[in-house]
């Protein structure tokens, strides 16, 4: 009971103060589990139609990220502390471990860093530009400063308020990706057995 | 020969001049040979040159020479800093003239060329995963392409899709990353990160000179150490790790240099001191020096003439010959000093000739037995000793009767002591029975704790800091330095590559079975493979593109022209950087490629795998050498047993029972004691101990020979033997203090064995004849 009061108080004080990145990181790291739906639109230059996809994701602290694209075809991406598994129908799972392919792994680990606003991990690869948009809304613009990221992305922009709501990725080649997150929920705070099985597999 | 009626003073004078002439010729030969020879300090050069499972000699030699030139560094900047420190170290290295191809980060231009090469040859450089997908079905490839396109972070661009709709370049680059072995590309640098989160930047270079070249490697290591010092001052907290044969061979040669200078000098000083004490005259000193010098000259000339080089280890071990070659001088001079009043120099020579020549013969025979072992260092030692000792002995025989004319005559010191020592042996049962029994007791105690160890790794005691660096580098890069490779070879490049491709699935299976943890194959497909891949692409591409179109992605048809990659083009391109080392083509077209493997758990299975595949050799130097060591250890044990049996036969035939058997006691016990001393000192028995035993047998038997020589006077013999033992201990005993473990254990066996042989040698004097010892 007391804990809930303190939590509410802290939420209240949060919105009263200006948002900072360390604080955001602190806040995100306090969410043991985050579930959300996403819809993604990728615009590739030279192609008439944008590529739309959607699905859901699950971030569990100390476990990793479970990204499940449902449409237009199922594709799952599991990202844990030391391995990344990409699964597509009809194909053997593609496993990348931190040991076998640190390059690729480092790249994928960025994804987790984005969701957790992990300042240290991001600062290693990007110049950060954080701004408070008022009423608890914030924006973080990432400009890659190391190769090979700087040859792939122009900027990665994160927008959010209580949660991360939008990722805009501008590629060097003029392509763009927008990922919108919605229906974010932190409850139930524990993983179901089925969810646990994804990570421990 | 024994009575020598023909050896007149005139004849002997001619002989002396003849020997002088030969010696001058030898000096001339030395001056001719020296600029044409080299000193070898490689530890591996000491090891047998084995035929590598059919791998052509030129190819395996080419590879080992090349690998010995490689140097690598891992530089970690001070905490919180980026790559500036590594860049500075790179700049410093580039200024060293001894290094070439100092490579650090791949610059943007290189990275572009890299991408371009893959793009221009994408139809020829298919990666395994793409090939599997295409072989599987067009569906597999089109699904994979869609997956990449939908992925927000894969960065598939419209440009990429337009120029490479099948995403072949992407596939092969992903595969390349997969085999990076724990290294990350960071701003063009290959980097590794340790558990504490420190980054390590990789720099690679090649030596201009062969790393076996002692003087230049010493200079290079010195200047590298200097650079490192100033580097550490500029970047406090930065760390540098280094790897390369250079550092090992330099360490070994410095050890050897240290051994030669200190042990050699101590030996010489000790021998000279002994001579001065016994003779109280400078002449014997000069004469000993002369015979040692001529011995060394002859030994060097013949070693260089036969082997074209001399190994540092040979030089170290050769210092031990100083003692033996001084023995001949001392034996002769002792005789002259004691009996110079009664007999002419020539008569003395005639009297000593049988013992001298017998001693020379047995010692030379023992050394020549070392030739059996296939170790170049020991073979050189055998040649050096055989010729050196013979020359020293000839010098004594040819010159000293003339040169020693003015030697002051007088009783040798300590004769009384020797007489009572010998009397005690001949009359006292306590000594005759007691001492051998004590020795037997010691031997039994020693044998009870004797260990046998044929592991070659234990012989190379590497300095702690080099070992530490080695472990760190292995942990960071995932590349161990345990000298294990597969070699694939063929008549030409194409055959080699086809054999490599045939081996690939077998390696995969072996890895799955846990035989090994990893391997690295060059990324150059054979012409045959390229043709097959192109056919596969042409067969599947239309279907893949139509499936993509169904999914809403319409792409231009792929360019499916042949884009052959030839070995020369590959070698010239930037993509072979870091792989060229593993590819060797001889002028006659024969070609081989090296497959470095890591974490081999079953060497026998690897050997079997190589034997079953055509044109594949498994190289595991350490395991092979350890097997070889044990084989030769057993063989030498048998040889030693044979030699002892032979000697026993001779003794029994000459002295009959029971004295023949008694004469055998010092020999047997000296061998036993050598081994026991080894066990007491905590060393384990290996091939080198047995080689030392052969010398114990060959040298120790001299003492028995001197006593059993019917013409010799026991006390004079005793003095000569005593001096011989002291000189031998001064030289072989010194080897005990060598910092090289193999040499040190060799020294322990020798000095303990020879001392025992000396101690027990009076046992061979007939016990019954009393008082005749003067």
Q: How many residues does chain B have?
A: 774
Please give, rounded to a whole number of angstroms, the shortest distance from the CA of A142 to a CA of chain B. Answer: 14
Contact B188/A147, CB-based, under 8 Å?
A: yes
Contacts of residue B147 in chain A, CB cutoff 8 Å? 75, 86, 88
Alpha helices (H) along B709-774 = 714-735, 741-760
Q: Which residues contact B633 (CB under 8 A, 6 or more apart)?
A: B452, B454, B685, B686, B687, B690
B152 interface with A at CB cutoff 8 Å:
yes
In chain A, which residue's Cα lies nearest the Cα of B163? A46
What is the secondary structure of B664-725 as a DSSP string? HHHHHHHHHHHHHHHHHTT--B-HHHHHHHHHHHHHHHHHHHHHH-TTS-HHHHHHHHHHHH
φ and ψ at residue A67, rounded to 5 degrees: -110, 120
In chain B, which residue's Cα lies nearest the Cα of A174? B157
Contact B158/A174, CB-based, under 8 Å?
A: yes
Closest CA to B301 of B390, B373, B182, B173: B390
Are the C-beta atoms of residues B39 and B308 closer than 8 Å to each other?
no
- Cα of B709 vs its chain's centroid, Å: 42
State the pLDDT at residue A124.
80
Are the C-beta atoms of residues B696 and B761 closer than 8 Å to each other?
no
Contacts of residue B157 in chain A, CB cutoff 8 Å? 44-45, 171-175
Residues B264-273, buried b or exposed e (16+ Cβ, 10 A)?
bebbbebbbe
Number of H helices, E strands in chain A: 6, 11
Contacts of residue B178 in chain A, CB cutoff 8 Å? 96, 100-101, 104
State the pLDDT at residue A11.
42
Contacts of residue B158 in chain A, CB cutoff 8 Å? 44-47, 173-175
Distance CA B486, CA B495 (A): 16
Token code pair at residue B666: 């010092």
Instruction: Write the secondary structure of B112-127 as one string of H (helix), E (strand) and C (coil).
Output: HHHHHHHHHCCCCCCC
Contacts of residue B183 in chain A, CB cutoff 8 Å? 102
Q: Which residues contact B580 (CB under 8 A, 6 or more apart)?
A: B571
- Range 182-201 of A in CB contact (< 8 A) with B: none
Are the C-beta atoms of residues B535 and B188 closer than 8 Å to each other?
no
φ and ψ at residue B674, rounded to 5 degrees: -60, -45
B150 interface with A at CB cutoff 8 Å:
yes
Q: Which residues contact B422 (CB under 8 A, 6 or more apart)?
A: B714, B715, B718, B762, B765, B773
The answer, yes or no, to whether residue A7 has pLDDT greater than 50, is no
The answer, yes or no, to whether residue A3 has pLDDT greater than 50, is no
Distance CA B506, CA B605 (A): 12
Distance CA B32, CA B417 (A): 50
- This prediction has a pTM of 0.71
For chain B, residues with pLDDT lower than 50 are 1-3, 768-774
φ and ψ at residue B390, rounded to 5 degrees: -60, -45
Contact A102/B183, CB-based, under 8 Å?
A: yes
Contact B150/A153, CB-based, under 8 Å?
A: no
Contacts of residue B155 in chain A, CB cutoff 8 Å? 152-153, 171, 173, 175
Is residue A148 reached through a cis peptide bond, with omega within 30 degrees of 0 on the bond before it? yes
State the pLDDT at residue B713.
74
State the pLDDT at residue A16.
46
- Hey, how many other C-beta atoms are within 10 angstroms of the C-beta on B546? 12
State the pLDDT at residue B214.
62
Choose the mutation target among B82, B146, B153, B162 for the interface with A, i.e. most A CBs under 10 Å. B153
Please give, rounded to a whole number of angstroms, the shortest distance from the CA of A173 to a CA of chain B. Answer: 6
Distance CA B115, CA B191 (A): 20
Please state whether beta strands B184-186 and B309-311 pair in parallel, antiparallel, or not at all (unpaired). unpaired
Distance CA A57, CA B270 (A): 84
Contact A99/B182, CB-based, under 8 Å?
A: yes
Alpha helices (H) along A30-118 = 102-116
According to CATH, the superfamily of the domain at A18-200 is Lipoprotein localisation LolA/LolB/LppX (2.50.20.10)
Q: Which residues pair with B241 in a beta bridge?
A: B74
Contacts of residue A91 in chain B, CB cutoff 8 Å? 133, 140, 143-144
Are the C-beta atoms of residues B609 and B595 closer than 8 Å to each other?
no
Q: How confident is the model at residue A21 (pLDDT cuts 50, 70, 90)?
A: confident
| Helix orientation angle between B312-339 and B245-258, rounded to the nearest 10 degrees | 10
Contacts of residue A177 in chain B, CB cutoff 8 Å? 152
B79 interface with A at CB cutoff 8 Å:
no
State the pLDDT at residue B29.
93
Place of tokens 């990160």: B193
Q: Which CATH architecture has domain B1-36+281-410?
A: Up-down Bundle (1.20)
Please give, rounded to a whole number of angstroms, the shortest distance from the CA of B142 to a CA of chain A. Answer: 11
Q: Is A82 helix (H, G, I), strand (E, B) or coil?
A: coil
Please give, rounded to a whole number of angstroms, the shortest distance from the CA of A153 to a CA of chain B. Answer: 8
Please give, rounded to a whole number of angstroms, the shortest distance from the CA of A51 to a CA of chain B. Answer: 7
Q: pLDDT tens digit string along A28-69? A: 878 888 899 999 999 888 888 888 999 999 988 778 888 899
Q: Is B83 helix (H, G, I), strand (E, B) or coil?
A: coil
Question: Of the candidates B161, B177, B186, which has its C-beta nearest A146's C-beta?
Answer: B186
Q: Is B433 helix (H, G, I), strand (E, B) or coil?
A: helix
In chain A, which residue's Cα lies nearest the Cα of B173? A104
Q: What secondary structure letter does DSSP report for A146? A: S
Q: Which residues contact A43 (CB under 8 A, 6 or more apart)?
A: A50, A51, A175, A176, A177
Contact A101/B554, CB-based, under 8 Å?
A: no
What is the secondary structure of B344-405 as a DSSP string? -HHHHHHHHHHHHHHHHHHHHHHHHHGGGS--HHHHHHHHHHHHHHHHHHHHHHHHHHHHGG
Closest CA to B348 of B716, B20, B714, B11: B716
Residues B353-392, buried b or exposed e (16+ Cβ, 10 A)?
bbbbebbbebbbebbbbbebbebbbbbbbbbbbbbbbbbb
Contacts of residue A167 in chain B, CB cutoff 8 Å? 152
Please give, rounded to a whole number of angstroms, the shortest distance from the CA of B240 to a CA of chain A. Answer: 22
Question: Of the candidates A73, A169, A173, which has its C-beta nearest B158's C-beta?
Answer: A173
A68 interface with B at CB cutoff 8 Å:
no
Task: Write the CA distances from B322 to A125, B104, B319, B383, B691, integer angstroms.
Answer: 67, 51, 5, 15, 19
Helix, strand and coil content of chain A, in percent to the nearest 5, comes to: 30, 45, 30
Q: Which residues contact A6 (CB under 8 A, 6 or more apart)?
A: none
In chain A, which residue's Cα lies nearest the Cα of B176? A101
Please give, rounded to a whole number of angstroms, the shortest distance from the CA of B599 to a CA of chain A. Answer: 15
Token code pair at residue B151: 């992925």
Are the C-beta atoms of residues B302 and B394 closer than 8 Å to each other?
no
φ and ψ at residue A95, rounded to 5 degrees: -105, 130
Q: Is A44 helix (H, G, I), strand (E, B) or coil?
A: coil
Segment holding B16, helix H or strand E = helix B9-33
Are the C-beta atoms of residues B407 and B341 closer than 8 Å to each other?
no
Task: Write the CA distances from B185 to B87, B104, B106, B574, B725, integer angstroms.
Answer: 15, 12, 9, 16, 65
Token code pair at residue B240: 């540098």
In chain A, which residue's Cα lies nearest the Cα of B82? A124
- Range 72-131 of A in CB contact (< 8 A) with B: 72-73, 75, 86, 88-91, 94, 96, 99-104, 106-108, 110-111
Contact B158/A175, CB-based, under 8 Å?
A: yes
Q: Which residues contact B657 (CB under 8 A, 6 or more apart)?
A: none
Residues A164-196, buried b or exposed e (16+ Cβ, 10 A)?
bbebbbebebebebbbbbeebeeeeeebeeebe
Contacts of residue A152 in chain B, CB cutoff 8 Å? 155
Distance CA B468, CA B478 (A): 15
Sorted by where each begins, the domain ranges of chain A are 18-200
A157 interface with B at CB cutoff 8 Å:
no
B135 interface with A at CB cutoff 8 Å:
no
The answer, yes or no, to whether residue A136 has pLDDT greater than 90, is no
- Range 23-52 of A in CB contact (< 8 A) with B: 40, 42, 44-49, 51
Token code pair at residue B603: 């060497």
B175 interface with A at CB cutoff 8 Å:
no
Please state whether beta strands B184-186 and B189-193 pair in parallel, antiparallel, or not at all (unpaired). antiparallel
Per DSSP, which regions of B532-588 are E strands?
583-585
Are the C-beta atoms of residues A87 and A201 closer than 8 Å to each other?
no
In chain B, which residue's Cα lies nearest the Cα of A89? B143
Q: Is A124 helix (H, G, I), strand (E, B) or coil?
A: helix
State the pLDDT at residue B761.
87
In chain A, which residue's Cα lies nearest the Cα of B144? A88
- Chain A / chain B CB contacts < 8 angstroms: 101
Question: Of the candidates B143, B162, B186, which has its C-beta nearest A91's C-beta?
Answer: B143
In chain A, which residue's Cα lies nearest the Cα of B197? A121
Contact B143/A73, CB-based, under 8 Å?
A: yes
In chain B, which residue's Cα lies nearest the Cα of A44? B158
Helix, strand and coil content of chain B, in percent to the nearest 5, comes to: 65, 10, 25
In chain B, which residue's Cα lies nearest the Cα of A114? B153
B653 interface with A at CB cutoff 8 Å:
no
State the pLDDT at residue B440.
92
State the pLDDT at residue B335.
83
């Amino acid at each position: 009971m007391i804990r809930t009061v303190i939590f509410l108080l802290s939420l209240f004080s949060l919105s009263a103060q200006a948002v900072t990145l360390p604080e955001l990181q602190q806040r995100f790291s306090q969410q043991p589990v985050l579930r959300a739906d996403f819809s993604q639109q990728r615009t590739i230059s030279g192609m008439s139609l944008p590529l739309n996809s959607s699905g859901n994701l699950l971030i569990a602290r100390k476990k990793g990220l479970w990204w499940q694209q449902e449409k237009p075809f199922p594709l799952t991406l599991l990202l844990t502390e030391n391995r990344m598994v990409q699964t597509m129908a009809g194909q053997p799972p593609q496993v990348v471990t931190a040991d076998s392919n640190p390059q690729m792994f480092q790249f994928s680990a960025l994804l987790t860093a984005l969701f957790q606003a992990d300042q240290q991990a991001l600062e290693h690869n990007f110049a950060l530009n954080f701004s408070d948009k008022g009423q608890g809304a914030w924006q973080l613009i990432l400009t890659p400063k190391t190769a090979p990221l700087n040859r792939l992305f122009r900027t990665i922009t994160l927008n959010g308020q209580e949660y991360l709501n939008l990722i805009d990725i501008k590629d060097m080649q003029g392509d763009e990706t927008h990922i919108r997150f919605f229906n974010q929920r932190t409850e139930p705070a524990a993983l179901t057995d089925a969810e646990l099985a994804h990570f421990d597999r | 020969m024994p009575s020598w009626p023909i050896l007149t003073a005139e004849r002997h004078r001619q002989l002396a001049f003849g020997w002088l002439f030969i010696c001058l010729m030898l000096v001339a030969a030395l001056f001719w040979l020296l600029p044409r020879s080299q000193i070898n300090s490689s530890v591996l050069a000491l090891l047998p040159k084995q035929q590598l499972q059919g791998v052509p000699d030129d190819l395996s030699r080419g590879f080992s020479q090349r690998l010995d030139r490689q140097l690598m560094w891992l530089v970690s900047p001070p905490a919180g800093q980026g790559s500036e420190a590594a860049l500075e170290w790179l700049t410093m290295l580039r200024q060293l003239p001894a290094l070439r191809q100092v490579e650090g980060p791949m610059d943007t231009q290189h990275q572009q060329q890299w991408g371009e090469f893959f793009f221009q040859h994408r139809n020829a450089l298919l990666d395994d995963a793409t090939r599997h997908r295409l072989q599987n079905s067009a569906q597999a490839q089109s699904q994979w392409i869609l997956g990449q396109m939908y992925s927000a972070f894969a960065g598939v661009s419209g440009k990429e899709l337009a120029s490479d709709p099948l995403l072949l370049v992407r596939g092969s680059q992903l595969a390349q990353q997969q085999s990076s072995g724990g290294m990350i590309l960071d701003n063009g640098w290959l980097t590794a990160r340790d558990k504490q989160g420190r980054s390590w930047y990789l720099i690679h270079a090649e030596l201009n000179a062969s790393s076996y070249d002692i003087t230049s490697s010493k200079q290079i290591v010195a200047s590298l150490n200097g650079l490192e010092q100033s580097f550490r001052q500029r970047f406090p907290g930065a760390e540098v790790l280094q790897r390369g044969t250079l550092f090992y061979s330099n360490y070994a040669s410095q050890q050897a240099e240290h051994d030669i200078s200190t042990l050699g000098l101590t030996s010489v000083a000790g021998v000279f001191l002994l001579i001065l004490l016994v003779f109280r005259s400078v002449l014997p000193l000069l004469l000993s020096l002369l015979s040692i010098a001529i011995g060394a000259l002859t030994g060097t000339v013949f070693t260089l003439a036969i082997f074209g080089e001399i190994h540092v280890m040979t030089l170290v071990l050769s210092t031990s010959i100083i003692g033996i070659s001084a023995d001949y001088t001392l034996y002769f001079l002792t005789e002259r000093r004691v009996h110079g009043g009664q007999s002419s120099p020539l008569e003395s020579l005639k009297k000593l000739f049988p013992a001298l020549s017998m001693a020379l013969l047995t010692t030379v025979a023992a050394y020549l037995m070392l030739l059996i072992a296939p170790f170049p260092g020991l073979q050189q030692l055998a040649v050096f000793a055989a010729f050196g000792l013979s020359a020293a002995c000839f010098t004594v025989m040819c010159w000293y009767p003339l040169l020693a004319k003015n030697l002051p005559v007088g009783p040798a010191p300590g004769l009384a002591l020797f007489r009572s020592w010998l009397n005690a042996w001949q009359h006292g049962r306590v000594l005759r029975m007691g001492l051998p029994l004590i020795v037997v007791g010691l031997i039994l105690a020693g044998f009870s704790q004797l260990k046998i160890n044929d592991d070659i790794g234990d012989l190379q005691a590497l300095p702690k800091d080099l070992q530490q660096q080695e472990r760190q580098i292995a942990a960071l890069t995932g590349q161990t330095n345990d000298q294990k490779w597969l070699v694939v070879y063929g008549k030409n490049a194409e055959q080699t590559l086809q054999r490599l491709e045939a081996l690939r699935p077998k390696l995969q299976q072996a890895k799955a079975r846990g035989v090994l943890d990893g391997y690295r194959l060059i990324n150059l497909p054979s012409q045959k493979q390229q043709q097959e891949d192109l056919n596969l692409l042409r067969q599947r591409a239309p279907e893949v593109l139509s499936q993509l179109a169904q999914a809403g992605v319409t792409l231009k048809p792929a360019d499916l022209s042949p884009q052959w990659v030839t070995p020369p083009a590959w070698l010239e391109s930037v993509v072979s950087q870091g792989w060229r080392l593993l590819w060797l083509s001889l002028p006659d077209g024969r070609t081989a490629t090296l497959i470095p493997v890591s974490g081999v758990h079953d060497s026998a299975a690897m050997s079997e795998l190589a034997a079953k595949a055509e044109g594949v050799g498994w190289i595991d130097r350490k395991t092979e050498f350890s097997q070889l060591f044990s084989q030769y250890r057993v063989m030498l044990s048998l040889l030693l047993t044979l030699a002892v049996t032979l000697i026993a036969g001779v003794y029994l035939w000459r002295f009959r029972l029971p004295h023949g058997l008694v004469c055998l006691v010092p020999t047997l016990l000296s061998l036993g004691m050598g081994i026991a001393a080894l066990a007491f000192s905590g060393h384990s028995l290996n091939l080198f101990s047995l080689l030392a035993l052969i010398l114990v047998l060959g040298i120790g038997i001299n003492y028995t020979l001197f006593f059993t020589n019917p013409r010799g006077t026991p006390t004079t013999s005793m003095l000569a033997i005593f001096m011989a033992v002291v000189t031998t201990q001064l030289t072989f005993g010194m080897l005990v203090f060598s910092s090289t473990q193999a040499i040190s254990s060799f020294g322990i066996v020798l000095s303990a064995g020879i001392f025992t042989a000396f101690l027990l040698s009076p046992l061979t004097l007939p016990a019954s004849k009393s008082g005749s010892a003067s």
